[in-house]
Amino acid sequence: LNPHDVVRALLRERADRAPRERGEAYAPANIALCKYWGKRDAGLNLPITSSLSVSLGDLGARTRIEPLDGPDDRFVLNGREAEPNGSAARRVGAFLDRFRGADGPRYFVESESRIPVGAGLASSASGFAALVKALDRLYGWDLPPESLSILARLGSGSACRSVYDGFVVWEAGERADGMDSLARRMDEEWPDLRIGLHIVSSAPKPVGSREGMNRTVETSLLYRVWPERVAADLPRLRDAIRDRDFEALGATAESNALTMHATMMDARPPILYWKPETVGAMERIRALRAAGVAAYYTIDAGPNVKILYEESSENAIREAFPELQIAIPFAQ
């Protein structure tokens, strides 16, 4: 099965529906507490392991899509028209091709994102999830969230988790067609949970997550223990969420991120996303902990640091990180 077949299998007779005037939708960014790192199928973005994330509330992407007369798509990101042949426009165009075929309708797509693009902050996750939801509205498909999750995965793996708010588990699945590789929302909420985004750099990363994963899976010996690590961390995180045990949540998420980075450092050639400021922030968080402030970090495929803490620690965290952008996953 290729991505276009997956789309056809999910849409079936819905594929013939005529578009409305426009479709518009919002999707949050998400941060993995147990990471997705490594694909078993690169074409369908099927992961080797399951993962668990939390969505970032109002830090995300709002996307509008309209059919367009003319030969080319137009893509406006944060008020700026994207270069028609630039990487962002090509990626969106290639994703839309999975739905329309190569000679289907053209679209005008406008997206506002409240997070730095391309900085390992899951901007592609909220972008593809919002685009799939906007398409669902444009054509009135009214697909169940599990189907939207599969479709968003075809854009970028972690996007399948951004279809939902709150804590989300992406089950790796076993099927070759990926129809069982989708995300589901957990019931639990955690109103006091905060995620601070410490932006070290918004520059595009030197090695994209797709290449980083492939190189790690193919060359890293340490990667062989990654599935075992995930098998231990996932239930720990589920328990921590159920028991509202912040230390267990934070410590497990932090260690899981470090293990992921260890597998990358063992790739040949090695991949190291950290900058001196990344390590500096890690040290500051450790010092905060030593001073009695419950704070933990996680880091994705980039130099930026995401700080996990609870509302009661907000003052201490803000003092240590004055520039922090703060996400409230469960805003009341």
Q: Which two tokens stand for residue 40?
A: 């078993």
Q: Are 115 and 59 in contact (CB under 8 A)?
A: yes
Binding to ligand PMV by CB under 6 A, coded x per residue (else -) over 83-122, reads ---------------------------------------x
Q: Please identify which residue in the block is written with the tokens 């409305």.
A: 20
Q: Which residues ranging from 48 to 67 are in contact with ligand PMV (CB under 6 A)?
A: 51
Nearest-angstrom CA–CA distance, 277 and 326: 19
Between 122 and 143, CB nearer to ligand PMV:
122
C-alpha span between 122 and 266 (Å, rounded): 24
Task: Point out which residues pair with 63 in neighbouring strands.
Answer: 25, 111
* Nearer CB in complex with ligand PMV: 139/273: 273
Within 13 A of 73's CA, how many CA atoms are on the CB side? 28
| Contact letters for ligand PMV, residues 210-239 (x by CB under 6 A) | x-----------------------------
Q: Does 158 bind ligand PMV (CB under 6 A)?
A: yes
Q: How far apart are CA 280 and CA 260, in angstroms?
A: 19
CA distance 288 to 308: 12
Interaction of residue 300 with ligand PMV, rule CB under 6 A: yes
Instruction: Give kind and range of the element (H or E) at residue 284.
Output: helix 276-290
Alpha-carbon dihedral sign for residues 318, 322, 324, 325 = positive
Query: By C-beta, is 36 or 164 nearer to ligand PMV?
Result: 36
User: What is the rounded distance in angstroms from the CA atom of residue 288 to the CA atom of residue 182?
Assistant: 37
DSSP 171-190: -----TT-TT--EEE-S---
**Closer residue to ligand PMV, CB minimum distance, 35 or 236:** 35
Q: How far is the CB of 169 from ligand PMV (least distance, A)?
A: 12
CB of 248 vs ligand PMV, minimal distance in Å: 19
- Ramachandran assignment for 279, one of left (phi > 0), alpha (psi -120 to 50 degrees), beta (any other): alpha
Residue nearer to ligand PMV on the CB measure, 48 or 68: 48
Smallest distance from ligand PMV to CB 251, Å: 18
Q: Between residues 32 and 320, which has the closer beta carbon with respect to ligand PMV? A: 32
Radius of gyration, CA atoms only, the chain? 19
Interface pick for ligand PMV out of 55, 156, 252, 263 (rule CB under 6 A) = 156
Q: Which two tokens stand for residue 278?
A: 């990344």
CB atoms within 10 A of CB 203: 11
Q: Per-residue x/- mask for ligand PMV, residues 32 to 51, rule CB under 6 A?
A: x--xxx-------------x
In the complex with ligand PMV, the residue whose CB is nearer, 8 or 90, is: 90
User: Which residues on adjacent β-strands are paired with residue 75?
Assistant: 109
Stretch that binds ligand PMV, among 29-37, 102-110, 277-285, 311-319 (CB under 6 A): 29-37
Strand partners, 51: 170
301 binds ligand PMV (CB under 6 A): yes
- Stretch near ligand PMV under the rule CB under 6 A, chosen from 69-77, 135-143, 151-159, 227-235: 151-159
Of 49, 126, 147, 209, which one interacts with ligand PMV (CB under 6 A)? Answer: 209
In the complex, what is the shortest distance from the CB of residue 109 to ligand PMV, in angstroms, rounded to a whole number? 19
Q: Which residues bind ligand PMV (CB under 6 A)?
A: 32, 35-37, 51, 122, 124-125, 156-158, 209-210, 300-301
